[in-house]
Amino acid sequence: MTEIRELHGLDEFGEAFAVFTGIWGFEQGNQPINPELMRALSHAGNYVAGAYEDGRMVGASVAFFAEGGVLHSHITGALLGRGIGLALKRHQREWALARGIDRVTWTYDPLVRRNAHFNLAKLGARPEEYLPSFYGVMDDAVNRGDESDRLLAVWRLAEPCAPYTVEGAVTALKEQDGRPVMGDTDAKVLLVAVPADVETLRRRDPGAAKAWRHAVRDVLGGLLDDGARITGFHAKSHYVVERR
């Protein structure tokens, strides 16, 4: 059984840092978080929590208060395939609601299918902004060699997530032989594909990974810039985008 609890001691922050480093392979001088910063954030009343199984930390999450009464989730990492990430986000949701906060935001790589499915389908968050090269050049083991485009996800905690439709949808970006192929972007409802496994693609075919990065930036980012909105993630492979 997974136990989620807030962290307060330096030893706990060190455990959380080890979890994050194990997931992303951070190198010295290239860490988005460290135990000292976690200590400061926790002491200032922000959200720093860990997930435990049999007394061992298997996931952690750090979030801070942001402008507009929002809790911004800076980093969340957990062992895959065991529901730990979902348990952490549910704990974060209850923590926020108990403090009168009804929105949680975070950024994620739009090319990673499992994250898009988790954020949109499981949690009901919706991306509201495309952020090209948001973190600049990154050199961790997961993102090395790629540009750090991100989507800003907004999780409206007190609102039910409206269902999306793909009726009459037109494919604006599809996959063909492992590469992106542009389609029509004039329809009211559009489907935007992302690669099956961009993390493996970065290592095996960096050129294809780069092509996907720029294609999704142009199509999905362009649609959001034009006022369209992302309403779902269909079949674990395509963003659903509706023009207003």
pLDDT tens by residue, 12-56: 999 999 999 999 888 776 788 999 999 999 999 999 999 999 999
Per-residue model confidence (pLDDT) at position 139: 60
The whole-angstrom separation of Cα 99 and Cα 92 is 11
Measure CA 117 to chain center: 10
- Round to whole Å and give the CA distance between 54 and 97: 28
CA–CA gap between residue 155 and residue 127 (Å, rounded): 9
Q: Answer whether residue 170 shows pLDDT above 60.
A: yes
pLDDT on residue 179 = 97
Six-digit token pair at 166? 């793909």
Q: Where are the domains of the chain?
A: 3-156, 170-242
> What phi, psi does 174 have (nearest 5°)?
-130, 170
Pairing outcome for strands 150-156 and 170-176: unpaired
Task: Give the containing element (helix H, strand E) for 92.
Answer: helix 84-98
CATH number given to 3-156 = 3.40.630.30
Residue 175 has pLDDT above 80, yes or no: yes
Which position has the token pair 């402008």? Answer: 67
Angle of CA points 206, 223, 173, to nearest 5°: 45
Res 78 pLDDT > 80: yes
Q: Which pLDDT score is estimated for 27?
A: 74
Give 142 or 218, the one with higher predicted confidence: 218
Identify the CA nearest to 189 among candidates 163, 155, 157, 159.
Answer: 163
pTM of the model: 0.93
In this prediction, residues 229-234 reach a mean pLDDT of 98
Place 99 in a pLDDT band, splitting at 50, 70 and 90: very high
pLDDT of residue 143: 61
**pLDDT, mean of residues 88-113:** 98
Measured distance CA(220)–CA(38) in Å, rounded: 34
Whole-angstrom Cα distance, residue 172 to residue 189?
9
Q: In this predicted model, what pLDDT tens digit does every residue of 113-150 receive, in sequence order? A: 999 999 999 999 999 999 999 988 766 545 665 789 99
What six digits make up the tokens of 71?
């809790």
